[in-house]
Structure 1
Amino acid sequence: MNILWVSAHPDPRSLNGSLRDSALTWLAGAGHTTMESDLYRMGWNPVVTAEDYAHDPAHRLRVATASSTALAGGTIAADIAAEQDKVRRADAVVLQFPLWWFSMPAIMKGWVDRVFVEGFGYGIRKAGGGTRRYGDGLMAGTRALIVTSMGGSEHTVSARGINGSLDELLFPIQHGFFWYTGMSVLPPVLIPSADRMTDAGYAAAEAHLQARLGTLFSDRPILYRPQNGGEYDANFVLDDAHAPGESGLRVHTTR
């Protein structure tokens, strides 16, 4: 299987860098084909500009329209096109990053912003009308996994932990990016207490990550509700028959 590993850490000698290198070696040994986008090493530009779309600066930049026009016309920037080609060929996409301020590093957010343009990541129209999203995007059939580290303990991202549950913390990425574009989202891999990692702790983290990679194509995805499955009304509000009396992010998964 083809696996795209996208990582974001400024130091290749870091915990994240070591785990990434180990994971890529393990995947290759297991017979997978790996593609890598080490964003810091690539010097990835995270900023959306008119130049991405060969857009005439004399005219107002409407990002969605300019990006979809460039995508269709083959004038999108070469670095964006190269990453889109990797995504198209991937059977699974792994995003690996340290959790900074409750989200991914800016350089990785910029990878998402620039690569998943209109016509590729969103704004996909169905033949019969309506828009393909939330389980029905172009990336349907692709598996998606977050591998993230944090300085705090795992207890702080538990159901009653002070930071909220991990799935709720990562909801904008897992549901708003992966699931929105159609990917099947696997439960994330958390490497906690990263700032206090011992040799024994690293060995355990490495073994845990490899075990999860071994079931990358067999683990049950998070059961998010599809947009077009009949559970949402015409305004995309969850019908009262589902998760009655509940609210918040958790209602968008079935349990």
Structure 2
Amino acid sequence: MIHRERKKVLLVSAHPEPTSLTRQLAEQSAETLAASGCEVLHSDLYGMGWKAVFDGNDFPERLNPERLSLIDESGHAFARKSQTDDVEEEQRKLGEADALILHFPLWWFGMPAILKGWIERVWAFGLAYGFRGAGNAHRYGEGGFAGKRALLAVSVGGPAVDYSPRGINGPLDQLLFPVTHGTLFYPGMQVLPTYAVYGAARLDDAGVAAARAGWAERVRRLFEDEPIPFRSQNGGDYPDRHVLAPTVAPGQEGLGAHVALPSRVFACDGLG
């Protein structure tokens, strides 16, 4: 059960079709969270007409009008509170939230462009990254979003076997590593194992009901489930803060080496 203190959860959904499974799971999130006593914040990106492209128009008061440096302008705009209104509103919601749930379909092995654009514009320098102190960069387990939880609900068109350990598409958790590890854990979020529904476009009514029921159970455990045990940058596994120590995960390379308990991590919930 979710703890009874009133938590706030931001739901971000990215699908243009109101009857899609993605949108139905987002509706299920809102219902389950409200019934559990949580306050629900919403960002329906297509419904909002969210501007997906991160460009010079995001900076009304340019630091350098001659050459666009997105990092420099982002830090300048965030520090001077001169960001666009839509970005500031999303940052406000995210700042209030104890947890973030991203609802999206898997398109070309990643997030829809509109959701990627939401992250690029909202994850400002000085907010989501750019933290430093005591000589260490505060990233991968630390940073501006430390203490918040994050969870993905992903609708997948293909069958589960295609995303199995030897499946032709590759394991879903590894395909989503740039999101779970790079986008969410990088600024300090505790990231829970992904909930995936496979064969989403071909589900009948019973399949949709099963997907919603399974998802509702995951949402009820949002503040109780163990996060993915990604290795923190400043926890000692990376002596130079860049490369794993030889004694850590010896013989392992690639994504799995950066997870303390890979046998638990690389296994998504969902429908096969």
TM-score past 0.5 threshold: yes
CA–CA separation in structure 2 for the residues paired with 1:195 and 1:44: 25
1:105 and 2:116 aligned: no
2:127 aligns with: 120
CA–CA separation in structure 1 for the residues paired with 2:191 and 2:202: 29
1:67 and 2:91 aligned: no
1:87 and 2:87 aligned: no
Offset at 1:177?
A: 0.6
CA–CA separation in structure 2 for the residues paired with 1:223 and 1:61: 37
The 8 Å contact of residues 174 and 185 in structure 1, kept in 2 or not, is answered as yes
CA–CA separation in structure 1 for the residues paired with 2:118 and 2:54: 9
1:35 to 30, 37, 41: 41
TM-score, structure 1 normalization: 0.97
How many aligned residue pairs are there?
254
The 8 Å contact of residues 152 and 193 in structure 1, kept in 2 or not, is answered as yes
Q: Structure 2 regions of 5+ residues with no counterpart?
A: 1-6, 262-272
2:226 aligns with: 220
The 8 Å contact of residues 32 and 220 in structure 2, kept in 1 or not, is answered as no
Offset at 1:235?
A: 5.5
1:181 aligns with: 187
2:196 aligns with: 190
TM-score, structure 2 normalization: 0.91
- Deviation per CA, 1:193-239, whole angstroms, max 9, x where unpaired? 11110111011000000000011000000000000011113161111
Taking the TM superposition and a 5 Å limit, the aligned residue runs for 1:1-255 are 1-56=7-62, 58-126=65-133, 128-234=134-240, 236-255=242-261
When residues 235 and 211 of structure 1 are mapped into structure 2, their CA distance, relative to the original with a 3 A threshold, is: closer
Which amino acid in 1 is paired with 2:136? G
Which amino acid in 1 is paired with 2:78? L
The 8 Å contact of residues 55 and 61 in structure 1, kept in 2 or not, is answered as no
2:3 aligns with: none
When residues 16 and 235 of structure 1 are mapped into structure 2, their CA distance, relative to the original with a 3 A threshold, is: closer
Which amino acid in 1 is paired with 2:97? A
3-state SS of 2:28 partner? helix
Q: CA RMSD in A?
A: 1.2
Offset at 1:97?
A: 0.3
The 8 Å contact of residues 97 and 105 in structure 1, kept in 2 or not, is answered as yes
Which amino acid in 2 is paired with 1:156? D
Which amino acid in 2 is paired with 1:136? E
3-state SS of 1:35 partner? strand
3-state SS of 2:145 partner? coil
Which amino acid in 2 is paired with 1:142? K
Offset at 1:55?
A: 3.7
When residues 19 and 235 of structure 1 are mapped into structure 2, their CA distance, relative to the original with a 3 A threshold, is: closer
CA–CA separation in structure 1 for the residues paired with 2:147 and 2:34: 21
2:268 aligns with: none
CA–CA separation in structure 2 for the residues paired with 1:197 and 1:189: 16
Offset at 1:51?
A: 2.6
Which amino acid in 1 is paired with 2:105? P
Q: Percent identity, aligned pairs only?
A: 46
Q: Structure 1 regions of 5+ residues with no counterpart?
A: none
Structure showing greater relative contact order (alpha-carbon pairs closer than 8 Å, 6 or more residues apart): 2
